[in-house]
Structure 1
Amino acid sequence: MMNLLSDYTINQETVLLTGEYNENGKLCTRVIEGEDTFLVDMKPIDVINKTLLGLGSNFNAGRKSSREILGDIYMCPIKINCNLGIWLFPTKSYNNEFCVWFSLTHVKKTKAVGIRKTEVYLSYNHTFVINMKESKFNQRKQAAKDLRYEMTKNSQGILTFYVEPKKGLMIRESEGINRYRIRK
């Protein structure tokens, strides 16, 4: 019997996530992390959401941010952690049990295999063959790169402003309904 983890947080070594049924017929998440692979007793979307909750966000907010930046695109990529460079992009609708979520940083190159299959070469010498045209896969990958570029650019903006020094306000607390009197 394969190792089944009850919990998982996406990290820098996470190569991909996808849905897989365990021997009891329950939808779990197949994770490839570094050179290892294992099942997590959660749906892929729940693994993503739990990871984002730990970072102060959630899946819906991540999708909303992606769409705000990239436009109303279908199957948008999602930022997991900007500082650690973790960006995921899906191969199918996130509602599809067998959607594969690839980590952008771990996709090294692709090769078309026949008409509708793509061989994806990943970090740690992994190879994953998906039922998708290479051009479609690379469009999804490019959307993730675009999102990474825009979010990184937005988070590195330098805010400069100058406040003209003024005489401060004097505020006194008093009795009654309007308890504060302000004098310049």
Structure 2
Amino acid sequence: MAQRTTGARIYLTLIGLLLALAGAVFSWLMWRSFSRASRIDSWPQVPCAILESAVESRRDDPDWGDDMPQGFRFRVRYSYDFEEKNHESDRYRLRGSSWSSSEAGARELVERYPAGSVAECRVSPDDPALAVLEGESRAPGYSLWFPLLFFVGGIGVVIGAWRR
């Protein structure tokens, strides 16, 4: 086996460090998302009264046509009592409702949370003005192994570059 030149070793080290850095950054982001979802699941649940529930539409492109919306999302407003104070929130999830090109998903949520009904919402004990109807997905925590492969692989490339 031929001896590697110093230039080749430095090149492999840089590639390995870039792989490891990308893996570390994505692992941290996914862990942070998983941790936030776990924290929300521990918030106390209280009854909340749904005041408004509707499908909101938007048009991004004015040339699209007046009768064709381009995006839909679920819009909600509800009130709840926490620590003997009344609060209102408009958050379906912590990050809000996402826009979709399909109206069906938003319609389904309007049917699940109709105006005038009572649902359970989770309230942040640190900031009672913050409440959500549904928690976040824990999927990033279950997929954490994937970016960790890049981290470990990148470290392996660096070690391999300098091994005799």
TM-score over 0.5 (shorter chain): no
Higher relative CO (CA 8 A, sep ≥ 6), structure 1 or 2?
2
Higher strand share: 1
In which range does the TM-score fall when normalised by the shorter chain? under 0.3
Could you tell me the TM-score, scaled by structure 1's length?
Answer: 0.25
Could you tell me the TM-score, scaled by structure 2's length?
Answer: 0.27
